[in-house]
């Protein structure tokens, strides 16, 4: 089957109290790793691509690879445009065939965030595409979005309820203490805030910046309502380190098939751990 939207995926995760892992991918090799392991573990999976990844790989190339993967394996697979700030770029991806998008206007004022998100929702929903948005700002850098510590802020539960009602989004990314990139110390998640958001908001909730967060903390957040967990940095580092190590041992290597394979193998181990962390293994049946 072709790639699907994240709507039914996340609603199922919400109903059965697990989370769908959203792995940041960049090329054929990283997509292969994610979908092969997801298929082995029978997990639904989201291939998340930031705007810079889409520009690097080509929106049409990524879509074709995603559809090829979805045709090969009988598990739910979605290709998700992540953290896009540009309506026209989101529109282009939707028109091309992307079934899931995120409009990130979290750095804007509350009113402007609603206005921008609502515009995307109106366009996307007419075409069967699901929309994720964010309320509150995560510290750190994700693609071209860089949020300093002083500009980061937690999601307000009451505003979250209003935000969801006014925008009509399908899922909400919440700021409860995670950050994009690497952590200097163990993050402390605000579970009380998450519970308050869950009590007021009915759509599936999303945890960004999960790389480096202890598994027990992620799993506690899943128990409290998180239905999608984003993972990026923890995939890139082992992949890159394994390729570097291969070149140190094989300085004259020049065959991408050989020097990329250790990177894929290293990344596989992370994907296995994260799928099990999300309790999504076996949920594709």
Catalytic residue at 82? yes
| 80 annotated ligand-binding residue | no
- Choosing from 82, 156, 170, 281, the catalytic residue is 82
| 245 annotated ligand-binding residue | no
| 144 annotated ligand-binding residue | no
Both tokens assigned to 217: 């903390």
| 84 annotated ligand-binding residue | no
DSSP, collapsed to helix, strand or coil, labels residue 72 as: helix
| 181 annotated ligand-binding residue | yes
| 39 annotated ligand-binding residue | no
Where does residue 36 rank: exposed (0-12), middle (13-18), buried (19+ CB within 10 A)?
middle
Rounded Cα gap, residues 133 and 101, in angstroms: 9
* Alpha carbon separation from 161 to 166, 176, 199 (Å, rounded): 9, 15, 9
What is the radius of gyration, based on Cα positions, of the chain?
18
| 261 annotated ligand-binding residue | no
| 230 annotated ligand-binding residue | yes
Rounded Cα gap, residues 166 and 22, in angstroms: 26
Locate all alpha helices (DSSP H) within the chain, ordered by sequence. Answer: 7-16, 28-41, 51-57, 59-72, 87-96, 110-125, 157-167, 191-200, 215-223, 233-249, 256-259, 261-277
| 208 annotated ligand-binding residue | yes
| 50 annotated ligand-binding residue | no
| 30 annotated ligand-binding residue | no
**Residue-wise burial string across 87-122, b where 16 or more C-beta atoms lie within 10 A, e elsewhere:** eebbbebbeebbbbbbbbbbeeeeeebbebbbbbbe
| 210 annotated ligand-binding residue | yes
Catalytic residues: 82
Q: Which residues are annotated as a binding site for dihydroxyacetone phosphate?
A: 181, 209-211, 230-233
- Which residues sit in the known binding site for Zn(2+)? 83, 104, 134, 180, 208
């Amino acid at each position: 089957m072709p790639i699907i939207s994240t709507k039914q995926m996340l609603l199922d995760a919400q109903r059965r109290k697990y989370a769908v892992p959203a792995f940041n991918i960049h090329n054929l090799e990283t997509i292969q790793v994610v979908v092969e392991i997801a298929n082995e573990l029978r997990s639904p999976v989201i291939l998340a691509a930031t705007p810079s990844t889409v520009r690097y790989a080509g929106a049409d190339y990524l879509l074709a690879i995603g559809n090829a993967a979805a045709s090969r394996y009988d598990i739910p697979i979605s290709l998700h445009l992540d953290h896009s700030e540009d309506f026209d770029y989101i529109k282009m991806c939707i028109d091309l065939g992307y079934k899931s998008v995120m409009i990130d206007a979290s750095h804007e004022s509350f009113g402007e965030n609603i206005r921008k998100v609502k515009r995307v929702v109106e366009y996307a929903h007419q075409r069967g595409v699901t929309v994720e948005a964010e309320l509150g700002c995560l510290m750190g850098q994700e693609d071209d979005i860089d949020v300093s510590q002083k500009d980061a802020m937690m999601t307000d539960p009451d505003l979250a309820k209003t935000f969801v009602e006014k925008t009509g989004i399908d899922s909400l990314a919440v700021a409860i203490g995670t950050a994009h990139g690497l952590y200097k110390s163990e993050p402390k998640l605000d579970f009380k805030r998450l519970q308050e958001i869950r009590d007021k908001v009915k759509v599936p909730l999303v945890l960004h910046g999960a790389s480096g967060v202890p598994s027990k903390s992620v799993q506690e957040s899943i128990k409290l309502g998180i239905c999608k967990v984003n993972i990026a940095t923890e995939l890139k580092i082992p992949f890159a380190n394994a390729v570097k190590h291969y070149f140190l041992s094989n300085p004259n290597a020049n065959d991408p098939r050989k020097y990329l394979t250790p990177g894929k193998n290293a990344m596989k181990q992370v994907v296995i751990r994260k799928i099990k962390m999300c309790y999504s293994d076996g949920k594709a049946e």
